[in-house]
Amino acid sequence: MDLSRRLEQVAVVGAAGKMGSGIALLLALELGYRGLEQPDRTFILNLVDMNDAGLQGLVRYIRAQAAKDGEKQINRLRALFRDRPDLVDNQDMVQEFVFEVLLRLRTGRTLALAEDALLVFEAAFETEEVKQTIYRDLAARCRPETFFFTNTSSIPLQGLSEACGIPGRLIGFHFYNPPAVQKLVELIRPRDCAPELAGLAGELATLLRKKTVPANDIAGFIGNGHFIRDGLYAIREVERLAPEAGFVPALHLVERVSRDFLLRPMGIFQLIDYVGIDVFELITRVMSRHLGEDLRSGLLERVLARGIKGGQDSGGSPRDGFLKYLKGKPAGILDPESGTYAELAGPWFQAAEAKLGPAPEPALSWKALSRDPAAPARLDAWFQALRGMDTLGAGMARRHFQASRATGLNLVRQGVANSPEDVNEVLKLGFFHLYGPITDYLA
């Protein structure tokens, strides 16, 4: 059965979540255009989630985003609606397109909604227990030819498909957040993956204008294989520096170095907050269980025990985690003992900044470099300067770089990634790093 036929009946499970809603949007738009191009066929997108309010929010989100997409693709719409004399203005056509997109959506709380689906995308909560329950249920309900695309970012697939009775029918199709924007999909083929499914996954990625990087079926894959260890390295650095510097200044130093010295789009603790401390911690558990490597952290557990989880609210604004946010920007640092936040100002802040020392000259930022065609040469000069600086910040940057590089190299050595290029690609596309970890800048 070809992809075109399968797209007539699609389901997203966990559709109201952060990742699920992005995946639902991508599919809804694709089915919207497809429906206009092939008016004699019916395309249905079943959106399943336990959360009714979330599903309503999802439909609103798809409505708003479909209008934006229709506006961007107005020439395509004008061509598609050429034979509709009732649609003349751009506005008429965009509104009609939004209606066509919404027409394809069916929402509901039970997996019964997915039983006719020929393609099921699953973006449920990241625990094996939850995923197993869902797939066992789906295995009983869906047709034998249905294929399953999981968005898991950490759980090995072979065991999951065997345990749930869907051997060969499950593939890892790991979008990055937000799925509608991020170009990367990490593609994980479990050992028994049907060749037809692998082919369809490649075809689907092209259709959704995603770039795939293959990762092997080892817990954490490439993205989390690097991110989790990078985060844990940062936590250990804080714990190493804290006895002398104090916890808050230590976290500030590590955050500053990871963002402003390594020139990343956000500091490592802001990234952990963005993903969600709870999600990060769940992934450390999954990876620890499967890899026989202790990736757990007492600090994470202590912070979570205080109910501090990070993540985002329904409007996409960051919730407080290791950092406090004001208007979306970091404004304070958590003291896990008291559960309060220290403002990024005052004597402690100035002392920490003085201790850190200056960044290399001329000043560079991730934002400016990300749009600068001369970025490689500037990065070269930057890291050249960092090599020669004898400051706390430069030393921390060198250590962090080397740890990140070692993690990248280990992913290749352990067979998670097929090549250093694949590791670099995931970090560049999925995490918006300006350079991959396996480079020689500070090696």
Partner 1 sequence: MRPMPKPVFLAAGAYTVSLGPGRREFNPRTARPGLEHYIREAGRAALAQIGDPALIDEGVIGNFMAARFNRQGHLGSLMTIVHPSLEYKPALRVEGACASGGLALATGIKSVLSGLAEVVLVMGVEVQNTVKALYCADYLAGAGHYEGERKDGPAFFFPGKFSERAGAYAARIGPAPARNAMARWYRNAVEHARLNPAAQEYHNTVPDLMAQGLTPPNPKGFTEHLNLFDCSKVSDGAAAILVASEAGWRSLGLAREDVVQVAGMGQCTANLTSPPADLTELTTSRMAAAQALAQAGIPIRAVGVFEVHDCFTISGLLSVEALGLAAPGGGAELVLGGATARAGECPTNTGGGLVGYGHPTGATGVRMAVDLWRQLTGRAGDCQVPLDKEHGIMVSMGGNDRTVVSLVLRR
Residue 62 CA from chain centroid, whole number: 19
Check residue 113 and report its DSSP letter: G
DSSP H or E stretch at residue 75: helix 74-80
User: Please, are residues 65 and 102 in contact by the beta-carbon 8 Å criterion?
Assistant: no
Cβ neighbors of 326 (< 8 A, separation 6 or more) are none
Q: Exposed, middle or buried: residue 275 (CB in 10 Å: 0-12, 13-18, 19+)?
A: buried
Neighbours of 405 (CB within 10 A): 20
Q: How far apart are CA 15 and CA 122, in angstroms?
A: 8
Any alpha helices (H) in 208-345, and if so which ranges? 223-245, 247-256, 268-275, 277-291, 298-305
367 belongs to the binding site for partner 1 (CB under 8 A): no
89 belongs to the binding site for partner 1 (CB under 8 A): yes
Cβ proximity to partner 1, 94 vs 138, nearer residue? 94
Compute the residue count for the chain: 443
Cβ proximity to partner 1, 94 vs 434, nearer residue? 94
Q: How far apart are CA 276 and CA 174, in angstroms?
A: 17
Q: What track of x and - describes contact with partner 1 for positions 49 through 88 (by CB under 8 A)?
A: ----------------------x--xx--x---x--x--x
Cβ proximity to partner 1, 91 vs 340, nearer residue? 91
Q: How far apart are CA 426 and CA 347, in angstroms?
A: 39
Q: How far apart are CA 113 and CA 12, in angstroms?
A: 10
Q: Residues in contact with partner 1, total (CB under 8 A)?
A: 11
**Which of 51, 90, 177, 391 lies at the binding interface for partner 1 (CB under 8 A)?**
90
Least distance (Å) between residue 83 CB and partner 1: 10
Least distance (Å) between residue 348 CB and partner 1: 36
Least distance (Å) between residue 79 CB and partner 1: 10
Cβ proximity to partner 1, 94 vs 442, nearer residue? 94
Least distance (Å) between residue 64 CB and partner 1: 13
316 belongs to the binding site for partner 1 (CB under 8 A): no
Least distance (Å) between residue 86 CB and partner 1: 10
**Which of 38, 56, 91, 414 lies at the binding interface for partner 1 (CB under 8 A)?**
91
Cβ proximity to partner 1, 59 vs 93, nearer residue? 93
Contacts with partner 1 by CB under 8 A lie at: 71, 74-75, 78, 82, 85, 88-91, 94
